[in-house]
Amino acid sequence: DADVTQTPRNRITKTGKRIMLECSQTKGHDRMYWYRQDPGLGLRLIYYSFDVKDINKGEISDGYSVSRQAQAKFSLSLESAIPNQTALYFCATSDFGGKKSYNEQFFGPGTRLTVL
Amino acid sequence: GQSLEQPSEVTAVEGAIVQINCTYQTSGFYGLSWYQQHDGGAPTFLSYNALDGLEETGRFSSFLSRSDSYGYLLLQELQMKDSASYFCAVEDNYQLIWGAGTKLIIKP
């Protein structure tokens, strides 16, 4: 069974549409992250959350919002999608600050989003 | 600014040894991690160095020199399944700062 799941796995949408990407985890980790990956650019942090009441902007948060509904669920929303948000989106979790002394991150399978 | 530099692509022969270098310039530094990502897959953790020196995990080893802001990942006895992208990432307090990745191409 997957520890970190993402839905949907693929999504094609049109410019201006609102879209939500969902992430769930069964690892019991408090820390959750949303990244986007573009070819040749590595991973860039969009938002991160250390617990349900602690949500923070990352490097590229403009145009995105998040919701931490529970320890296990962290959703990413694009309020009005634009073509340059076409990318591969990953959710990740970490037990850093809990049982782990370093920030080892566990990734979901990713969502490939295309905005036309 | 914050930056990590690693080669975009490295080619090696099956059974050989390959080294992937990473230099970093970041405002904070707690440690250097390495992740592997196969095409179409998610990044998976390989190793972590907080202190200077070599860490060995099976066929993979990772090295760190904090004074030189430099680290490398060493892959030995290369297998075709090692064909993937490899990312270095600096642990900076609350987040990981990622390099752009090195695509490792392995030839038979």
pLDDT band, very low/low/confident/very high, at B93 (cuts 50, 70, 90): confident
Q: For chain A, give the number of residues.
A: 116
CA distance to partner chain B, nearest, from residue A33 (Å): 9
Pairwise CA distance, residues B44 & B39, whole Å: 12
Q: Which residue type is seen at B26?
A: T
**Mean pLDDT of all residues in chain B?**
95
pLDDT band, very low/low/confident/very high, at B61 (cuts 50, 70, 90): very high
Residue B43 to residue A44, Cβ atoms within 8 A? no
Q: Which of residues 12-71 of A touch B (CB under 8 A)?
A: 33, 40-45, 48, 50, 56, 58
Which residue in the set B30, B41, B45 is minimally distant from A105, CB to CB? B45
Query: What pLDDT is attached to residue A2?
Result: 66
Q: What is the average per-residue pLDDT within A37-55?
A: 92
Contacts of residue A18, defined as CB under 8 A and 6 or more positions apart, other chains included, come to: A77, A78, A79, A80, A81
Identify the CA nearest to A49 among candidates A92, A18, A89, A19.
A92
Residue A110 to residue B42, Cβ atoms within 8 A? yes
- Pick among A9, A31, A43, A94 to test the B interface (most B CBs inside 10 A): A43
Q: Which residue type is seen at A54?
A: D
B6-53: pLDDT as tens digits: 999 999 999 999 999 999 998 889 999 999 999 999 999 999 999 999
- Reply yes or no: is the peptide bond before residue A109 cis, omega within 30 of 0: no
3-state secondary structure of A85: helix
3-state secondary structure of A50: strand
A79-107: pLDDT as tens digits: 999 999 999 999 999 988 777 778 899 99
Q: What is the average per-residue pLDDT within A34-57?
A: 93
pLDDT higher than threshold 70 for residue A1 = no
The tokens describing A80, both together, are 């009005």
N-to-C CA span, chain A:
33
**Mean pLDDT of all residues in chain A?**
94
Q: Could you give the C-alpha distances from B8 to A21, A75, B43, B84, in angstroms and in order? A: 30, 32, 17, 12
- Max CA-CA distance within chain A? 43
Which residue of chain A has the CA closest to B2?
A: A59
Chain B CB contacts of A106 under 8 Å are: 45
Pairwise CA distance, residues B22 & B88, whole Å: 7
pLDDT higher than threshold 90 for residue A40 = no
Query: What pLDDT is attached to residue A66?
Result: 98
Pairwise CA distance, residues A109 & A95, whole Å: 19
The tokens describing A40, both together, are 């040749």
Query: What pLDDT is attached to residue A37?
Result: 97
Pairwise CA distance, residues A59 & A62, whole Å: 9
Chain B CB contacts of A36 under 8 Å are: none
pLDDT higher than threshold 70 for residue B89 = yes
Which residue in the set A33, A43, A102 is minimally distant from B91, CB to CB? A102
Query: What pLDDT is attached to residue B105?
Result: 97
The answer to whether the beta carbons of residues B65 and B49 sit under 8 Å apart is no
The answer to whether the beta carbons of residues A74 and A34 sit under 8 Å apart is yes
CA distance to partner chain A, nearest, from residue B98 (Å): 6
3-state secondary structure of B81: helix
Which residue in the set A50, A103, A109 is minimally distant from B42, CB to CB? A109
